[in-house]
Amino acid sequence: MKAAELFIKCLENEGVKFIYGIPGEENLDIMDALLSSSIRFITTRHEQGAAFMADVEGRLTGKAGVCLSTLGPGATNLVTGVADANMDHAPLVAISGQAPTNRLHKESHQVLDLVNLFQPITKYASQILNPEIIPEVIRKAFKVAESEKPGASFIEFPENLAAIDIEGTPLLAQSASMSYPPQYKLEQAAQIISDAKYPMILAGNGLIRTNACEALINCAEKLNIPVATTFMAKGAIPNSHPLSLGTVGLQAHDYISCGFERADVIICIGYDLVEYPPNLWHKTNDRKIIHIDTRPAEVDSHYIVATGVIGDFRITLESLSKLASPRFERSYENLRKAILQELHANDDDNGFPVKPQRIIADLRKALDPEDIVICDVGAHKMWMARMFPCEKPNTCIISNGFASMGIAVPGAVAAKLCFPDRKVVAVTGDAGFLMNSQEIETALRAHAPHVILIWSDSSYGLIEWKQHIYFGRESHVKFNNPDFVKYAEAFGAKGYRINSADELLPTLQKALNDNTVSIIDCPVDYRENMKLTARLGEMICPI
């Protein structure tokens, strides 16, 4: 068989169901080998869209999403999505074609040193220089990408090697189990928790990646400790749970900041520093931090741990719930009441343009708990991350490590392909939407129906918000938009425009049942941004 056919067999062996990408001259043999494969190739309209699809598939499933490009500009177009997956710890394997090996030693058409280009933004980057090593390279790429903490791998495959005849078989797919936490570390952590007056848990995305959310809830309940989640860990504890303090991540002083200010012990579980920098929640550097994770703590002057417990989350949390002394009072009840009161304060506001709080409330009403929202980056992300309530993990995907605009539309395509029985909504600003809106055509062709909810303000709203905070004026953030309804219809999708707040919920409900791609243009009142800033600045802690 050809080396390209062995390559595809190795991908099948890894359980790959989808490859997202664009055909090119340098991956012709790969594309031909896919014709007889069980893997479904999703032809995208831009390589960045392909990388974001693989990124979101990896985050939702825990198995590496795969994206493919040709050499040169095709490969460089993958970079943003690959970097996003790597920094957000989503398993991804990126594959690119390359020129024949007899051109790689010199200046040559479209040739770049891709391994060195991808090395800083992946956990593993390799070039296939001999077809015999294909099984080893692919096995390692997936093993590294999927091991905790996950991330991206990159493989470069020169076109002349792909056509060589070779014999070979895929390697057995194996993964290491997480280690048992040391007993003395468990006892140290348990003693610190037992001695604490106001302990608090900060839950991170690692709990979701390892399917350990139930263990978190059980431990919090047994020890009676409140839980705050990062943006990327929304749903790790249900928002409706009496121990939930909601989501942290704003740079401003928020209600949840009051919890950190009161806490004498902060138990960080599955937390990565890219999710919410510790200098924002541990400014005083005088709290005791317990680091519970699969890896030792990152070095940071605001994250000096009293003890670290490294190992399997389930074993750690179950052991701590038995070793530590439970608390019998709920000292954070007033804080939770204030958070819930603010969460629902504008649920029925009829102002127009529609307030962010009303958009979030109606979106939550339109969706079932297991439905999936893919949130883009911008001012809307701050509102969604802070206020959109989640009852289940991985139901609101937020990029917060690399935080790249343009992820929502392609990410929604992957989410629907991976979970066809769930409803999927891409929540995006008008700026982020147009960065990868070409993937609407991909969604229609791939039969991946979903709703795109555009928060429309004709501005780079988050930057405008920051400009007004720092300078009291804006600079070069305004732009014009096309008619989004006509734009949707030009693709063969459905388009809706919201003209009053009362139209949003029924329009969402109708669009979710359209069984096609539906775009909703919803004007948003971002005057609420500065009102929120002022309100937080005057906030008095309710505890």
pLDDT band at 58 (very low <50, low <70, confident <90, very high): very high
Give the C-alpha separation, 438 to 487, whole Å: 11
User: What pLDDT digit, counting tens, does each position of 121-152 carry?
Assistant: 999 999 999 999 999 999 999 999 999 999 99
Domain boundaries for CATH 3.40.50.970 within the chain: 3-162, 344-535
Give the C-alpha separation, 174 to 299, whole Å: 31
**The pLDDT value given to residue 257:** 78
* DSSP reduced 3-state for 495: strand
**The pLDDT value given to residue 537:** 59
In angstroms and rounded to an integer, the radius of gyration of the C-alpha atoms of the chain is 24
Residue with more model confidence, 359 or 254: 359
pLDDT band at 536 (very low <50, low <70, confident <90, very high): low
**The pLDDT value given to residue 272:** 95
Q: Residue 118 — φ and ψ, nearest 5°? A: -90, -15
Tell me whether strands 227-229 and 124-127 are parallel, antiparallel or unpaired: unpaired
Interval 187-194 mean pLDDT: 97
pLDDT band at 110 (very low <50, low <70, confident <90, very high): confident
- Nearest residue to 207 (alpha-carbon basis) of 186, 234, 185, 188: 234
Is the omega angle on the peptide bond into residue 278 within 30 degrees of 0, that is, cis? no
Give the C-alpha separation, 346 to 363, whole Å: 13
**The pLDDT value given to residue 32:** 96
User: What pLDDT digit, counting tens, does each position of 283-298 carry?
Assistant: 899 999 999 999 999 9
Give yes or no for a contact between 141 and 10, defined as CB atoms under 8 angstroms apart. Answer: no
Give the C-alpha separation, 260 to 494, whole Å: 45
- Nearest residue to 224 (alpha-carbon basis) of 321, 82, 342: 321
**Which range has highest mean pLDDT (105-119, 249-263, 346-360, 430-444)?**
430-444
Judge whether residue 25 has pLDDT over 80.
yes
**The pLDDT value given to residue 261:** 86
Give the C-alpha separation, 431 to 405, whole Å: 8
Q: Mean pLDDT score of the chain, rounded to an integer?
A: 93
The two structure tokens encoding residue 435: 């960065």
Can you say how many angstroms the Cα of residue 493 is from the centroid of all Cα atoms in its chain?
26
Judge whether residue 455 has pLDDT over 70.
yes
Domain boundaries for CATH 3.40.50.1220 within the chain: 183-331
pTM of the model: 0.95
The two structure tokens encoding residue 116: 């060195």
Give the C-alpha separation, 263 to 198, whole Å: 5
* CATH number assigned to the domain covering 344-535: 3.40.50.970
Can you say how many angstroms the Cα of residue 280 is from the centroid of all Cα atoms in its chain?
21
Percent of the chain having pLDDT more than 90?
81
Judge whether residue 352 has pLDDT over 70.
yes
* CATH number assigned to the domain covering 183-331: 3.40.50.1220
When mean pLDDT is compared across 104-108, 191-195, 419-423, 469-473, the lowest value belongs to 104-108
When mean pLDDT is compared across 79-83, 260-264, 442-446, 495-499, the lowest value belongs to 260-264
**The pLDDT value given to residue 253:** 65
**The pLDDT value given to residue 538:** 57
**The pLDDT value given to residue 526:** 87
Percent of the chain having pLDDT more than 70?
97
**The pLDDT value given to residue 404:** 93
Residue with more model confidence, 36 or 334: 36
Q: Distances from the Cα of 132 to the Cαs of 4, 187, 360, 457, in angstroms? A: 11, 50, 53, 55
**The pLDDT value given to residue 54:** 98
When mean pLDDT is compared across 184-188, 464-468, 517-521, 525-529, the lowest value belongs to 525-529
DSSP annotation string for 394-463 = TSEEE--SS--TT-HHHHHHHHHHH-TTS-EEEEEEHHHHHHSTTHHHHHHHTT---EEEEEE-SB-HHH
User: What pLDDT digit, counting tens, does each position of 355-410 carry?
Assistant: 999 999 999 999 999 999 999 999 999 899 988 999 999 999 998 889 999 999 99
Determine whether domain 3-162 maps to CATH 3.40.1050.10.
Answer: no
Interval 409-415 mean pLDDT: 98
**The pLDDT value given to residue 251:** 66
Judge whether residue 413 has pLDDT over 80.
yes
Q: Distances from the Cα of 102 to the Cαs of 106, 107, 131, 160, 433, in angstroms? A: 9, 11, 15, 9, 42
**The pLDDT value given to residue 346:** 80
Tell me whether strands 199-203 and 152-158 are parallel, antiparallel or unpaired: unpaired
Residue 543, Cβ density class (10 Å: 0-12 exposed, 13-18 middle, ≥19 buried)? middle
Residue 221, Cβ density class (10 Å: 0-12 exposed, 13-18 middle, ≥19 buried)? middle
pLDDT band at 531 (very low <50, low <70, confident <90, very high): confident
Judge whether residue 496 has pLDDT over 60.
yes
Judge whether residue 252 has pLDDT over 90.
no
Judge whether residue 316 has pLDDT over 90.
yes
Q: What proportions of the chain, in percent to the nearest 5, are helix, strand and coil?
A: 45, 15, 40
HEC string of 261-323 equals HHCCEEEEECCCHHHCCHHHHCCCCCCEEEEEECCCCCCCCCCCCCEEEECCHHHHHHHHHHH
